[in-house]
Amino acid sequence: MPVVLAVALGGAIGASARYGTDRLISTPYAFPWSTFVVNLVGCFLIGLASQELGDAPDWVRNGVVVGMIGGFTTFSTFAFQALENHAALSAVYVALSVGLGIAAVAAGRAL
């Protein structure tokens, strides 16, 4: 199976699972519980998948990690990449990603 097809199929599964989880956990409270849960579950899954699928064919590994887990939450990729770097570089990456990400959302809303 071509990698791009596996990623597309995995992405459809992950995005659908994200939507379903959001509907299942959605609450009237101000705290975004569904996003919080999705991010934590996605982080666990990317850790598990990266360990267990290390020797799998590219289409399987990318279909699951990039497609399915990435479609479920990109926060898992963010956390995984932060863990893979040197501590100081990770701190810069996390601070810039969060700070500039919030600023970019504010700029987009302002436009």
Sequence ranges of the domains in the chain: 3-110
Between the alpha carbon of residue 84 and those of residues 13, 90, 93, 101, the distances in Å are 26, 8, 11, 20
Q: What are 4-47's pLDDT values in tens digits?
A: 999 999 999 999 999 999 899 877 888 888 888 999 999 999 99
Length of the chain equals 111
Task: For residues 88-110, give the mean pLDDT.
Answer: 93
Q: What pTM did the predictor assign?
A: 0.80
CA angle at 34 for the pair 87 and 81, rounded to the nearest 5°: 20
Q: What are 36-79's pLDDT values in tens digits?
A: 899 999 999 999 998 999 899 999 999 999 999 999 998 988 89
The alpha-carbon radius of gyration of the chain (Å, integer) is 16
